[in-house]
Amino acid sequence: MDIMQNYGADERRYAEAAAWPELTLARVISQHKDLYNIITESGELDERRLQNYLKLKKESRYEGQSSREIESAKIGDMFGSKSAMKKTRDFYKNKK
């Protein structure tokens, strides 16, 4: 029996999860303040480890890119475009 079935995963959940193969099916099993314990098919995971994993996964996108390419990708993630970043910068510059 799959460990996720002990926490309520059924065929419907697996079918829904199949639509996003890049994600992992998980379930929150407990919460204490801002920390969550999550169960996945490979076992239990606390939120700090999950956040570290997600950070490493995000950073691995930049592997093999030049510093200019990394900068452009990060600006795109944060602002959408370089012109939007410049508009934001100018807004806060003129706010003073």
8-state DSSP, 80: S
Question: Tens digits of per-residue pLDDT, 28-52?
Answer: 888 887 778 888 877 777 777 778 8
Instruction: Report yes or no: 80 and 69 within 8 Å, Cβ to Cβ.
Output: no
Would you list the domain boundaries of the chain? 1-63, 66-96
Q: Give the model's pLDDT for residue 1.
A: 47
Please indicate whether residue 55 or residue 44 has the higher confidence score (pLDDT). 55
Cα 20 → chain centroid: 13
Instruction: Report yes or no: 7 and 19 within 8 Å, Cβ to Cβ.
Output: no
Q: Return all residues near 44 (Cβ < 8 A) that are at least 6 apart.
A: 29, 37, 38
pLDDT value at 11 more than 80: yes
Q: How confident is the model at residue 14 (pLDDT cuts 50, 70, 90)?
A: confident
Q: How confident is the model at residue 91 (pLDDT cuts 50, 70, 90)?
A: very high
